[in-house]
Amino acid sequence: MLELQSFGRTGHRSSRVVFGAAALARLSPDRADQVLPLLLEFGVNHLDTASSYGDSELRLAPWLAEHRDRFFLATKTGERDGDAARASLERSLSRMGVHHVDLIQLHNLVEPDEWEEAHRPGGAVAALARARDEGLTRFVGVTGHGTRIAGMHLRSLERFDFDSVLLPYNFALLADPDYRRDVEALLEVCQSRQVAVQTIKSLARRRWSDGSEGPRFSWYEPLRPGPALERAVRYVMADRRVFLNSSSDLRLLRPTLEAAAGAGPGVAAPSDEEMERDAAELGIQPLFDGAGLERI
């Protein structure tokens, strides 16, 4: 079973691995229903989806009809206008068949023009705060990708008291001293204010190359099951300030949960030498470079 930890100041003790429900985006209902027993087997009690994740919200609806009280439920909206963000949240509630979510998140709020629109009077932040006051959500968070996002999250937290943040976190990305400095500054602020921190891309290997073969269940090439994946999971889990969101590649869910279940308190993080060796042998590279992929 996975270790539970307080999810910021929400009062919920979430599993250290959050189920990334983007993995349900293109699954049939029957195949999606096969995932629920695996989550229950490992004690996963936190679901993270988004309005833009294909059929993910629809696939969660049957689970929630029978097991709503088992899960902390989070979704996202990419809208920046207040009315559009409110409509997006209401549509998500309808698709999942619930009266409220535990967390609504502004999805990938990194571009300055979108940031200004979201935070203006009548923007998405104010609309979601009103939705919280009305009981449609309990908490409001913000997410993002790319090398600029830790700095943008700090800026967001100066403007609004978000309950959670989400950002990329893995050894290759944190090898960039500028990104690592921003991440550490963000983690310090979040710890002092009890803001929950979720991490993504922990199992990323590199961007897909032109010659890559086989099915693609994420926009990047992930690590395959094995010792390197287990070390990547342990690397994230060793930081007690963060949660690990599972990959959109459903084939990695059980290996991730098994690795995380064995990475509880007292289990040492992999050494930098081990992580550097994995990077060299597997060609692990940072996914983001400050350019076009920031918007993904």
Query: Residue 35: is its pLDDT beyond 90?
Result: yes
Domain at 4-209+218-288, CATH class? alpha beta
Query: Residue 214: is its pLDDT beyond 90?
Result: no
Q: Which two tokens stand for residue 123?
A: 């923007």
Mean pLDDT across 223-236? 97
With cut-offs at 50, 70 and 90, classify the pLDDT of residue 209. confident
Residue tagged 């289990």 (tokens): 267
User: Rg of the Cα trace of the chain?
Assistant: 18
Measured in whole angstroms, the distance separating CA 48 from the mean position of its chain's CA atoms is 7
Residues 6+ apart with CB under 8 A from 45: 4, 14, 15, 70, 71, 72
Tens digits of residue pLDDT in 146-172: 999 999 999 999 999 999 999 999 999
State the sign of the Cα–Cα–Cα–Cα dihedral 265, 45, 73, 31. Answer: positive
The pLDDT value recorded for residue 265 is 79
Q: What percent of the chain has pLDDT over 70?
A: 97
SS3 call for 144: coil
Residue tagged 């923007």 (tokens): 123
The candidate with the shortest Cα–Cα distance to 64, out of 73, 55, 56, is: 73
Q: ∠195-129-58 over CA atoms, to 5°?
A: 85
Contact between 245 and 199 under an 8 Å Cβ cutoff? The reply is: yes
Contact between 14 and 72 under an 8 Å Cβ cutoff? The reply is: yes
The C-alpha torsion from 165 through 169 and 174 to 180, rounded to 10°, is: 10
Contact between 108 and 141 under an 8 Å Cβ cutoff? The reply is: no
Mean pLDDT across 11-24? 98
SS3 call for 111: coil
Query: Residue 210: is its pLDDT beyond 80?
Result: no
With cut-offs at 50, 70 and 90, classify the pLDDT of residue 193. very high
Q: How far is CA 219 from CA 56, 246, 293, in A?
A: 17, 14, 10
| Strands 243-245 vs 196-200: parallel, antiparallel or unpaired | parallel
Residues 6+ apart with CB under 8 A from 181: none
Residue 254 to residue 258: CA distance in whole angstroms: 6
Enter the pTM of the model: 0.96
DSSP state, 251? Answer: G
Mean pLDDT across 264-289? 92
DSSP per-residue letters across 127-153: HHHHHHHTTSEEEEEEE--STTHHHHH
